[in-house]
Structure formats: structure tokens, C-alpha cells
Amino acid sequence: MVLAAALLVLTGPVVLAAAALAGPAGLAGRGPAFFRQWRLSRGGRPVRVTKIRTISGPEDGSWAVPHDRITPWGRLLRRSHVDELPQLWGVVRGELALVGPRPERPVFAARFDRTVPGYPARLRVRAGLTGWAQVHGLCGDTPIEDRARFDSQYVEYRSPWLDAVILLRTIASLRLAPAGDREPSPRSPGGPP
């Protein structure tokens, strides 16, 4: 919580500037600057996740965001992951962790619980801003089966050391290239990360 609060203070000006440009008076010029959505964390507890809006129009209920609905400004925010920074407030409140499986919307979590092997294990820990799956390039519209496999590995092998490695790898991976360009690595956290 202390680290998240410090990061929130440090990144606050970036978040406010990005939100101003994403809002009605900014570059995107359509709708509110922030996007809020219910997701599930440890034990299936619903948490309200806040991001900077990156798409045009209302939410359509699909699992992956259609690329044609991402605004040009939103594309830059997604590539740099600046749109995720408001979630630090959820960490400060104790609803999310810095590291853990990414939270999923309840409707999709219910579906994946029934159809994706190992998916329910991710709810044994608090959801996080970054995780083992994300540092291996599994974000956006990558297969949920791969994400669930990496999330299960994280839950099984989690430790302060692994969390530190994931945070460092997250910082090292921040760049302005599309997240989907990174290849998933098959390495398990059971060995040296």
C-alpha cells in the first residue's frame, strides 16, 4: 500500500494529463475521461477498477476490446500502460495488489470457471495490476487458457521474491510498442525467474 501510494503521487501528474486529453475537452473528445468496471478479486470479491478511457462509445460486452474502437490517443495510452495507473488507488484501498492475476469481469469469470482448466485458482489471491502472465506478454486479446496457466503458476509459487521479479520485469517492459508484440515465454516460476 505504501509503494502504491508513492507511485500514485509520482504518477499523479501523468494520470491527470492523460485523463484530460482522454476526456470530453481533450484529444478523444467523447465521453468521460475515466472508465469504471466491476471485476473480481480474491475469493470472488467484486472490486471497482478504474482506468483512463481508451475506446470510443459505450462498453459493448465483448471480452476483447475491438481494435477499431480504440482511439488514437487510447492506443498510445494502452501501449505505455498509462491507462492502468488509476488502479493504484485500488491498491491503496487494499482491494487490489501490485502483483497478482489480473482481475476479470464477473460474467467472463463465471464462463472461464466452467471452461478453462485451472482458472478458479486465480481467485485464491488478490488480483493485481501486473502479474506473471503479463510479464510474459499475455495481455490484451491473448488466449485465456495461457493466462490461466501462468496465473496458476504464480499462485502456486508466489513469494516476495517472485513479486519483486515481476515488478522489475514490468518496469523493464514498459515501452511504446503494442503489448501483443511480445512473445509468451514458457518458463515456470518454479525455477529461477
Q: Is the pLDDT of residue 113 over 80?
A: yes
Q: What is the pLDDT of residue 26?
A: 55
Give the mean pLDDT of 108-124.
Answer: 92
Alpha-carbon distance of 101 to 50, in angstroms, equals 16
In sequence order, the 6+-apart residues with CB closer than 8 A to the CB of 36 are 48, 49, 50, 51
Q: In this predicted model, what pLDDT tens digit does every residue of 23-62 receive, in sequence order?
A: 665 555 566 888 899 999 999 999 999 998 888 765 666 6
Instruction: Enumerate the β-bridge partners of residue 38.
Output: 48
Q: Which run of H or of E encompasses 42?
A: none
Q: Which region holds residue 61: left if phi is over 0, alpha if psi is between -120 and 50, else beta?
A: left
pLDDT higher than 60, residue 85: yes
Read off the pTM: 0.80
> Which of 126, 100, 117 is CA-nearest to residue 44?
126
At 128, the pLDDT band (50, 70, 90 cuts) reads: very high
- The residue ranges of DSSP E strands in 5-113, in sequence order, are 34-40, 46-52, 97-99
The answer to whether the CB of 41 falls within 8 A of the CB of 28 is no
Q: Which three cell numbers stand for residue 185?
A: 515465454
Give the separation between CA 3 and CA 82, rounded to whole angstroms: 17
